[in-house]
Structure 1
Amino acid sequence: MNEKGQIQYQVPRNPVSLMSRVYKHILPEVRKELDGWRQAASEIPDAELRKQALASIETKQFHCEGGGIYAAVELPYRLILTKLIVAYQTISDYLDNLCDRSTSMDPDDFRLLHKSMLDAVDPGAVPVNYYALREEQDDGGYLHALVTTCQSCIRQLPGYKAAMPYVQDLAGLYTDLQVYKHIKPELREPALLEWWELHRNRTPHLQWNEFAAATGSTLGVFMFFLAATDRHLDDANAARIHAAYFPHVCCLHIMLDYLIDQEEDRLGGDLNFCNYYDSAEVMLDRISSIVESARKDVAMIPSTSFHRMIIEGLLAIYLSDPKVSEQQEVRAASKRLMKGSPLTRLFFFFNSRWIRKHLYE
């Protein structure tokens, strides 16, 4: 803690040092953790649960790799955070697959499944049968193992007591979103609008789809995991972190995700928050405004340069995705968002392309 009472995080302060740590430590360590969960998923007795668990790791590995940025600290916390972030994100991706391609449309089933995410961030919670309201039951202990791994890691974070209420707030909002966005298609928008009415005072400047997008990000939770490595974290600093990440950084993350997934979601009949604007021009104006708000917000917390790199990295990672070139409107949107980019964003943009070309192919 510095003389102003602010927490200081020992994270990389420039793009070169950050990417150096990503290549040297984060990517290999995240992939090692995922290999363990892939092996566990392959042993799930129920065929449908096994299929979705394996598919979530296969197709969403980059979620864990991106989240691993928040583990870019020195040992021993780097390994603790990596294990924690990978386990938590794997729960998220697995449940998203289960609900997206679900054999059920029961909101109570979705809420019980996502109770695992609430239990994962409460080290005192006792895991339950999260599959109790669906036909598929036997995962061989896979989801319980993910939950208890998170709890075990959290117990090693000395500042987690201050972080926990804010993490529970974000995890609770995330759970609500996952329930409402996966119910019967004709019920989704009314349910989301009714839910927004309960919370719109928290983000009165955002439209309902933007608030919903903000609740769908795990970045705020990962930032709290990082912050909790400092035993001096207190409520005042935790509140600043919450305000710095929610809603704008989190909203930007998910709006970019939906931006590049528009064609995929259209074909799959999935809800997409980019489809609720009057025009592509309006959508781009809103996303650009959210970018600027996010930049201002992270100036309120220590290691501002690190958090600004996160923002530039989000834009670079999503706008360099191969899906962009496959969609004419998205390609035009990407060009506009990349126009006049700072050097940091361009640096991450070309690094993202290199990683995809050399590490995924």
Structure 2
Amino acid sequence: MNDIELRQFQAPRGPFGLMKRMYRYIIPETQRTLEYWRQTAEQIPDTELKKQALASISGKAFHCIGGSVYAAVNLPVRHTLIQLIVAYQTISDYLDNLCDRSTSLDPDDFRLLHQSMLDAVNPAAEPVHYYALRDEQEDGGYLLHLVETCQSCIRKLPGYEAAMPYILDLARLYTDLQVYKHIKPELREAALMDWWNLHKERTPELRWNEFAAATGSTLGVFMLFLAASDPHLTDSGAAAIHRSYFPHVCGLHILLDYLIDQNEDRIGGDLNFCNDYEDTETMVDRFVFIVNRAREDVSSVPDSSFHRMIIEGLLALYLSDPKVSEQQEVRLVSKRLMKKSPLMRLFFFVNSRWIRRQL
């Protein structure tokens, strides 16, 4: 396994075992955790902040359900991992809502808000006043509570010291993306292109929009959270995970998210990275390329079958979304990507639809 020094976790052996754990342990606890944060958000004094916090939970609960799949690998510490993953993803979804529907277009405001995500993954960080550069400031301690919950959970992960540099790398890239994609519409693409030029040697096979998409995923962070639950995690083991997830698994995740959100983003005037493709055929070809590279990247990581399930699950999760049937171009892309799908992907497709109906 070369320099990959990760210990084997007791990962599910196949899709049936994974979904059994999801239904029995992970989904119920994730839903209880989300309900706690929903009740907490109900107490936010500022009307706009409360609105966006509640909308991020009600409209994006599936992000937390999907992210919590990593807790299914190490059941003895699932409580800590679920608490951590849900809190971190809730920060991400809340801030995304705030910035997408922002009363501000100030990049300094966006960067200060997202400092909370950097502080959340640094247990030694001292939280600051994240709302200092915007009009809406009174959240009743909601964002601070999310940050401190992450820090508290991280202190329980014995291998976090090895994982932290790689988590911070992904968190910094995520923060940069959120700043550049939410500034004045006429400045966004140029800013993202300049940013890509600083980093494109890291992902020479990707286009600028695909690199940007990869930086918008939290999956690499979640996998590193899981790895940090192993007291024997080494620097080389953490580096291997980072390489196996960024950029292709992460890129596939967010490109699928943008694929199904094209109508919403068009209406809302939001940047959508799928719009940069010349035509539908090119977009499908690039998706297939990224799927294949993602499979290659995870093939040498311990418990590679679990990571292969993550890739198939991503395709099933997003292509089963009701928004697919509402968009003709997206339906065409979905049919191409689902054509001759392996049974595993079809299994996750059916389960994803069932779970959505329960939320």
TM over 0.5: yes
Structure 2 partner of 1:261: 261
Q: How does 1:147-226 map to 2 (within 5 A)?
A: 147-226=147-226
The separation in 1 between residues aligned to 2:165 and 2:8, in whole angstroms, is: 21
Could you tell me the TM-score, scaled by structure 2's length?
0.98
Structure 1 partner of 2:289: 289
Structure 2 partner of 1:248: 248
The separation in 1 between residues aligned to 2:329 and 2:90, in whole angstroms, is: 31
Q: CA RMSD for the aligned pairs? A: 1.4
The separation in 2 between residues aligned to 1:228 and 1:236, in whole angstroms, is: 13
Structure 1 partner of 2:116: 116
1:176-229 CA-to-partner distances (Å, cap 9, x unmatched) read 000000000000000000000000000011000000000000000000000001
Q: 1:324 to 1:4 in 2, by over 3 A?
A: closer
* 1:251/1:290 contact within 8 Å kept: yes
The separation in 2 between residues aligned to 1:191 and 1:171, in whole angstroms, is: 19
Letter in 2 for 1:253: H
The separation in 1 between residues aligned to 2:109 and 2:279, in whole angstroms, is: 36
1:217-267 CA-to-partner distances (Å, cap 9, x unmatched) read 000000000000101100111111000000000000000001111111111
Could you tell me the TM-score, scaled by structure 1's length?
0.98
Structure 2 partner of 1:44: 44
* 2:45/2:138 contact within 8 Å kept: yes
* 1:258/1:272 contact within 8 Å kept: yes
Q: CA deviation at 1:75?
A: 4.3
The separation in 2 between residues aligned to 1:3 and 1:129, in whole angstroms, is: 41
The separation in 2 between residues aligned to 1:180 and 1:29, in whole angstroms, is: 35
- What is the aligned-residue identity percentage? 72
Q: CA deviation at 1:74?
A: 4.5
Structure 2 partner of 1:132: 132
* 1:158/1:228 contact within 8 Å kept: yes
Q: Secondary structure at the match of 2:7?
A: coil
* 2:4/2:236 contact within 8 Å kept: no
Q: CA deviation at 1:7?
A: 2.2
Q: CA deviation at 1:271?
A: 0.4
Q: CA deviation at 1:84?
A: 0.2
Q: Structure 1: which 5+ residue stretches go unaligned?
A: none
1:300-353 CA-to-partner distances (Å, cap 9, x unmatched) read 210000000000000001011111111111101100000111110010011111
Q: Secondary structure at the match of 1:182?
A: coil
The separation in 1 between residues aligned to 2:4 and 2:92, in whole angstroms, is: 36
Q: 1:3 to 1:102 in 2, by over 3 A?
A: closer
The separation in 1 between residues aligned to 2:268 and 2:6, in whole angstroms, is: 46
Q: Structure 2: which 5+ residue stretches go unaligned?
A: none
Q: 1:150 to 1:4 in 2, by over 3 A?
A: closer
Q: 1:285 to 1:223 in 2, by over 3 A?
A: same
1:143-179 CA-to-partner distances (Å, cap 9, x unmatched) read 0000000000000000000000000000000000000
The separation in 2 between residues aligned to 1:355 and 1:247, in whole angstroms, is: 28
1:65 paired to 2:65: yes
The separation in 2 between residues aligned to 1:4 and 1:214, in whole angstroms, is: 23
The separation in 2 between residues aligned to 1:76 and 1:300, in whole angstroms, is: 25
The separation in 2 between residues aligned to 1:293 and 1:51, in whole angstroms, is: 39
* 1:2/1:8 contact within 8 Å kept: no
Report the more deviating stretch, 199-208 or 5-14.
5-14
The separation in 2 between residues aligned to 1:192 and 1:346, in whole angstroms, is: 36
Q: 1:21 to 1:205 in 2, by over 3 A?
A: same
Structure 2 partner of 1:321: 321
The separation in 2 between residues aligned to 1:293 and 1:135, in whole angstroms, is: 44
Structure 2 partner of 1:342: 342
Structure 2 partner of 1:18: 18
1:77-117 CA-to-partner distances (Å, cap 9, x unmatched) read 10000000000000000000000000100000000000000
The separation in 2 between residues aligned to 1:328 and 1:283, in whole angstroms, is: 14
1:82 paired to 2:106: no
The separation in 2 between residues aligned to 1:3 and 1:297, in whole angstroms, is: 15
